[in-house]
Structure 1
Amino acid sequence: MDWYTSIFELIDLRSFSNLWFWIAVAVLWSSASHWVLGVPYDMIQRARRVGGQAEADLLDIVRIHVNRVLYIIEVSGVWLLAIVCFLLSMLAMLGFYYSIEFAQAVFLMAFPMSLVALLNLSFARRIRRQEPKLEIVAKLLLRCRLYVQLIGIVSIFVTSLWGMYQNLSIGVLG
C-alpha cells in the first residue's frame, strides 16, 4: 500500500459513508446550539442563576456581539448575501445535478447554517430594539437556541436520510 492510497483512505470523498463527516456534522450542530449569537449557553445559565457580575458580563458580551453582527451586515451585507448565494448554488449544482457526493455533503451542512446565520441576524435586531435587561435578553437568546436546535434536528434528519439513500444506491448500483 503506497502513501497515496493511505491518504485517500483516510480522506474519503464519499462523505456519507465516512465517519469523519458524521463527526463533523455532530460538532457543527453541537457548537451551533451551544454558541447562540456568539454567547455560550453556560454563560446565559450562570447569569440567570447568579446575577451580579455574571449578569453584567452577559449583557456586555451580548451587546458586543449584536453590534458586531449588525455592523458587518450594514457594511457588507449585500456582498455577503451574493457570495453565500453563489456558493450555495454552486454546491447544489455540483452536488445534485453533477452527482458529486462531497458537494452534496458540504451543501447539506452549509445550507442549514445559512438559515442559522439569518436567524442570528433576526435575533440580533430584536435584541438591539429591546432594553438591555437580563430577563429579556436571556429569553431571546434561549428562544434563538431552541430554533437553532430545531433547524439542527431537521438538518441531521434530512442529511442522514440522504446519506442512507446514497449509501444504499451505491451498494445496489455500484
Structure 2
Amino acid sequence: MNNPLLMTPLNTALLVIDMQEKLLPSIDTCGPVLWNTRRLLDGAAILKVPVLGTEQYPKGLGSTVPELAERMGTLPEKLEFSSCACLSDQLAKLQRPKILIAGIEAHVCVQQTALDLVALGYDVLLVVDAIGSRFRQDKRIALRRMESSGVTLTTTEAVLFEWCRVAGTPEFKQISQLVRENPPT
C-alpha cells in the first residue's frame, strides 16, 4: 500500500538552504545541524533522492561549507530570502510533490521558502534537527508558525527510515550505518 502521507525516493526532493561558511558558525547547535544535514545528503545519494540547494549572497556569507558542497554540486545564488524564485525551474522539472527542507536560518530563509512552497501547492516537510537559527527563540517560533501553516515537522532519523521503507536491502544496510553514527560532541 502506498500511503500518500509518506515520503519515498520517488515523490520527494531534498532542499538544503544556505549552509554557508560565514553564517553556520553563529547558528545555535551548528554541529548537530551540519551533521544531520550531511547524513540527509548521504541518505539521499544512497536512495537516489534528488537534491537542491541555495546560497544566500555568497560574496558576503561565503560558500556552502565544504563537507556539504562536495555532496551537492552547483548551487544557485540568491538575494531574496525565499529560495523559490531561483529554484522554480528545477522544482518544475523534478515534479516531486514533497519538498523536504534542511538549512538556515529557520526564521528567515527556511520559513519564507517553506511558506512559499506551501502556497505553490507542495507538501513541505521540515527536518527540525537539520535546521537552525542564531537564537533558539527564533527557531522555536518559526517552527510553530510553519507548522500552523501546513508544514510537517520531522527528524533526520525518521526521514532516513521513511525513505528506506523496508529492512533487509543493501540500501537499508547503508542507511542503518548513517543512523548508527555518533553525533558530534
User: What range is the shorter-chain TM-score in?
Assistant: under 0.3
Question: Higher helix share goes to which structure?
Answer: 1
**Larger Rg belongs to:** 1
Give the alignment's TM-score, normalised by structure 1.
Answer: 0.27
Give the alignment's TM-score, normalised by structure 2.
Answer: 0.26
